[in-house]
Copies of this chain bind each other. A is one copy, B any other.
Amino acid sequence: MNLPQTAEYALRALAVIVTRGDTVSAETIAGEASVPQPYLQKVLRRLVAAGILDARKGPGGGFSLAKPPKKIRLIDVLNATDTSLPDACAFGWGKCDAKHPCPLHGTWSELKDSIHGWASRTTLEDVRQYADARLTPLRRRAP
């Protein structure tokens, strides 16, 4: 019941990029996010393919967000990394809903709903704000 490594790495990379606010090279991201660089490259490619990141080659190149942080929901990131959230009936039924529930339906729905809610509601803007508020507290001191 964990995020796949791939998805976690994607989130780490995006956290680095969004807190920096501009273009960051794969090498830098790998260092800051403690991700093996060869694999990270592969993950970043997927985020580019999904339209979440822009890539720029050549000296000074790297990766930057392709849209405003507020427009990038965690669920978009998870989709881009082939990470499926709990969806199917936990009891293995093809049709399973409130009208024709399997024995696990109630219990399982609670979990599903809360995970889906989290992934749909949270955006990179939330990550940015958190990091901004908690990681650089000096900036916010009263004069």
Contacts and interface: CB of A to CB of B under 8 A. Distances in A.
A80 interface: no
Contact of A101 (B11, B19, B118, B134): B134
A52 interface: no
- Size category of the binding interface on chain A: 35 or more
Nearest to A109: B130
Nearest to A128: B103
A84 B15 contact: no
A105 interface: yes
Interface string A1-35: 11110011001100110010000000000000111
Interface stretch (A43-51, A60-68, A86-94): A86-94
Contacts of A127: 103-104, 106-107
Instruction: Output the residue of A2, A74, A90, A118 with the most chain B CB within 10 A.
Output: A2
Nearest to A8: B90
Contact of A78 (B1, B4, B12, B104): B1
A106 B84 contact: no
B1 A2 contact: yes
Interface of A: 1-4, 7-8, 11-12, 15-16, 19, 33-35, 74, 78, 83-86, 90-92, 101-107, 110-111, 114-115, 118, 122, 126-127, 130-131, 134-135
